Amino acid sequence: MKTQHIIEAVEAVQAAILANESQIESLDRAIGDGDHFINVRRGCEVLMGLRGEIAPLPPGEAFGKIGMKLLSTIGGASGPLISSFFIAMGKSLAGIAEPDRVQFAAAFAVGVEAIKSRGKADLGEKTMLDVLIPVSRLLQRLAEQGAPLPALCGQLAAEAHRNMLATRDMTATKGRASFLGERAIGHIDPGSKTCEVAIAAVCDTLKEPA
């Protein structure tokens, strides 16, 4: 992985987030704080403006800079969580000029663990982790198996989609949705939808012949 891939992913994620604006906003209005999309969009805009600064950096430093920038610009509950993800990834990849898939998968897992620790949440609590944890586990397994990139990306996108849909039947135990109790059942978690959209967008940018 090169930093140029990170920049291409940022561009793809911003386009995908904007394309799914109405759906993410409606999900957040149903069970969230109502400002989730605004914060995510702001984060994407900030990262688009950061492309020139991270371009000459190795991936680890680029992720670290992304995390610190998001920490100072994204509000709401998701800001510190997303920032901790990128900061942890950056530390995991420090000193690696061009991480391979196994190293990237390991760093992704470290980032997900940082979200778990910061948010004190885990699987089954109707949060973004219900997408990120299974995707991380699958990514590590496929990377270690040496799966061809198109197959790896296709399976990750499908895993993200399946687990995003599964949040519909969960009772929320974290965040604002937890105050709704069983009334949150029947609604997809907005954070999990955002993660699914972002993962699918990144996977699309990485597909290439095996």
Strand, coil or helix: 119: helix
- Worst-scoring range by mean pLDDT, 60-64, 81-85, 169-173, 178-182? 178-182
Q: Mean per-residue pLDDT for 184-199?
A: 92
pLDDT at 68 over 80: yes
Q: What pLDDT score does 210 carry?
A: 38
Q: Mean per-residue pLDDT for 42-58?
A: 96
pLDDT per residue over 24-41, tens digit each? 989 988 877 678 888 899
pLDDT per residue over 114-163, tens digit each? 999 998 999 999 999 999 999 999 999 999 999 999 999 999 999 999 99
Q: How far apart are CA 151 and CA 128, in angstroms?
A: 24
The 8 Å CB, 24+ separation contacts for 141-149 are: 142/105, 143/101, 143/102, 143/104, 143/105, 144/102, 144/105, 148/210, 149/206, 149/207, 149/208, 149/210
Q: How far apart are CA 93 and CA 88, in angstroms?
A: 9
